[in-house]
Structure 1
Amino acid sequence: MSLKRHLQKARKDKKAIGQFNFSTLDQLQAILSSSVSLNIPVIVGTSVKEATFFGMAEAATLVGYYQKKGAKIYLNLDHGRDIETVKKAIDVGYNMVHFDGSKMDFEANIKDTKRVVSYAHKKGILVEGEVGYVPGQSAMNKCDLPDVDVVAIEDVVCFVKNTNVDLIALPFGSVHGIYSQAPKIKFKFLKDVSRIKPFLVLHGGSGVKDDDIKKAIKLGITKINVNTELRMAWRDGLKQSLKSSEYAPYSLLNKSRSNVESRVKEKLLIFW
């Protein structure tokens, strides 16, 4: 089944597909194992920095191999801000790309997103666009929760009409990273915007309360991005392993891998 079909089914059944980012092989294997064991589709994502570290073509080749084995796993370029980088991801075999023009002025965002959509759709690749800015960093943050400004519904409709994106990320109140306070999801805005055609994407899924996630899915969220929680789980596992006298990487990384797998399973059971 194609990624688009999985997204359609998720929206129809009031479920959401999780996107889990990775930059190491053990992270990718942990996400894959979680998906296979629960028989739930997943999207694996690489930011531009993650793709640079892991290898863009290598990521596409591995995910393609898993797909041929029957896994319900799909690869997305996360927060691509340069058109040529996004095109490269499409050309090497990514299943979807996220073009993030949220820091541009509105008209420039439409123009460049439209260019990406035109290129991607010719190759059967889905495109996620973004209107408005989702703040924060994919880390454990000690500062106050940043403010999140909602965009006008008319701007969302205009963007969708002029770009023909398949998915759209909007500032629903979530933020990238984890803060001392849980973010407050703007459910009224989510309900108002849920009538648009593209699949709705929630970025910054790590710090959001489980009940808020479930409510957001019922209101139309179809894809949820998680990164910070996986990074923390991976790091905590490695820190624990490094206390031992072990030297073999495959032994040192076992705890990191199992931590990530457990966290992904927890999220999948909430989303699906």
Structure 2
Amino acid sequence: MNLKQVLKNAKKEGEAVGQFNFSAWVQLRGIFKAAQEQNQPIIIGTSGGESRHVGLKQAVILVEMAREQYGVSAFLNLDHGRDLEWIKQAVDAGYDAVHFDGSELSLKENIEQTREVAEYAHENDVVVEGELGYLTGSSEEHSEKIKIEKENLTSPRQVQQFVEQTDVDSLAIAIGNVHGVYAEMPNLDLERLERIEKETGAFLVLHGGSGIPDEDVQKAIEKGIVKINVNTELRLTWKESLTKALKKDSIKPYEILPEVERAIQEKVNSKINLFHG
């Protein structure tokens, strides 16, 4: 199946497909082992920084290798692309999907640049995700509370115009979700999500899937979310498990890293279970 069909099936079944980001092979192995165990399709994400660290062509090759090794339906997505040329390079390198983040632009500029990405990507059968609304925060652990400004949330009135004029396949929305994990997580505006869902047939995406209470995630899926991105929790799991593993009396990576891999696998397992009910 292609990615559109996977998302369509998730929407029909009232489930969500997880996107899990990586920037190291040990993370990728843990993610794929969880997907294999759960027998569920996944999306592998690389942010701008992650894709530059790994390399676009290298990321494509690594995912292809893992896909073949573990027998998992997996799709590679460029997450939060802002540089049009870098996005086009990702398409040319063999990415299955690209996300253009024009959330810091005016609506007019966002539409124009997202449409440019969609035209280029669709010529190569690549799925395109746009973004409407602005997500606060950064993909890290924060000790403070975060404040959500209402004007940053996705406007249901703009959704139909944005999707029709850009021709995106999926749409990342801001409904109180944030990047990162905070001491007190904000509540999701589920009523806003319902209004957005009524305005478009595009697949709705929830970024900032880390730290949101399970009950809220389940409600968001029930109300139309079909893709959920997880990054910060995987980074925290990687750091915590690596710190613990390094206390072992060993300097051999092959004795240390399996503990990290298992921890990531467990975290992804829990997320896949949540997203697929």
Q: How far off is 1:197 after superposition?
A: 1.2
Aligned residue runs from structure 1 range 41-120, under 5 A: 41-68=41-68, 70-120=71-121
Aligned mate of 1:234, from 230, 234, 238: 238
Is structure 2 residue 170 aligned with structure 1 residue 152?
Answer: no
Q: How far off is 1:79 after superposition?
A: 0.2
Report if aligned partners of 1:214, 1:270 keep a CA contact under 8 Å in 2: yes
Report if aligned partners of 2:177, 2:209 keep a CA contact under 8 Å in 1: yes
Aligned mate of 2:271, from 256, 267, 270: 267
Of 85-94 and 57-66, the range deviating more from structure 2: 57-66
Identity %: 41
Structure 1 portions without partners, runs of 5+: none
Is structure 2 residue 174 aligned with structure 1 residue 171?
Answer: yes
| 1:227 counterpart letter in structure 2 | N
Distance change in 2, residues 1:154/1:263 (3 Å): same
Aligned twin of 1:193? 196
Distance 1:269 1:216 in 2: 15
Q: How far off is 1:63 after superposition?
A: 1.5
Distance 1:178 1:86 in 2: 27
Is structure 2 residue 129 aligned with structure 1 residue 125?
Answer: no
Is structure 2 residue 224 aligned with structure 1 residue 223?
Answer: no
Q: How far off is 1:53 after superposition?
A: 1.1
Aligned twin of 1:29? 29
Report if aligned partners of 2:41, 2:74 keep a CA contact under 8 Å in 1: yes
- SS of the equivalent of 2:210 reads helix
| 2:76 counterpart letter in structure 1 | L
Q: How far off is 1:148 after superposition?
A: 4.3
Task: Provide TM-score, normalisation by structure 2.
Answer: 0.96
| 1:179 counterpart letter in structure 2 | Y
| RMSD of Structure 2 on Structure 1 (CA) | 1.1
Report if aligned partners of 1:183, 1:207 keep a CA contact under 8 Å in 2: no
Report if aligned partners of 2:148, 2:186 keep a CA contact under 8 Å in 1: no
Q: How far off is 1:67 after superposition?
A: 3.7
Distance 2:149 2:3 in 1: 30
Structure 2 portions without partners, runs of 5+: none
Q: Which stretches of structure 1, 4 residues or longer, exceed 3 Å deviation after superposition? A: 65-70
Report if aligned partners of 1:134, 1:148 keep a CA contact under 8 Å in 2: no
Q: How far off is 1:256 after superposition?
A: 1.2
Aligned length: 272
Aligned mate of 1:253, from 254, 257, 266: 257
| 1:242 counterpart letter in structure 2 | L
Distance 1:208 1:110 in 2: 29
Report if aligned partners of 2:154, 2:175 keep a CA contact under 8 Å in 1: no
Distance 2:249 2:195 in 1: 56
Aligned twin of 1:244? 248
Distance 1:248 1:79 in 2: 35
Distance 2:262 2:238 in 1: 9
The C-alpha deviation readout for 1:23-53, integer Å capped at 9, x for no partner, is 0001011111110111011101000111111
Q: How far off is 1:54 after superposition?
A: 1.3
Aligned twin of 2:8? 8
Task: Provide TM-score, normalisation by structure 1.
Answer: 0.97
Is structure 2 residue 185 aligned with structure 1 residue 182?
Answer: yes
Distance 1:4 1:156 in 2: 20
Aligned twin of 2:143? 142
Report if aligned partners of 1:133, 1:148 keep a CA contact under 8 Å in 2: no
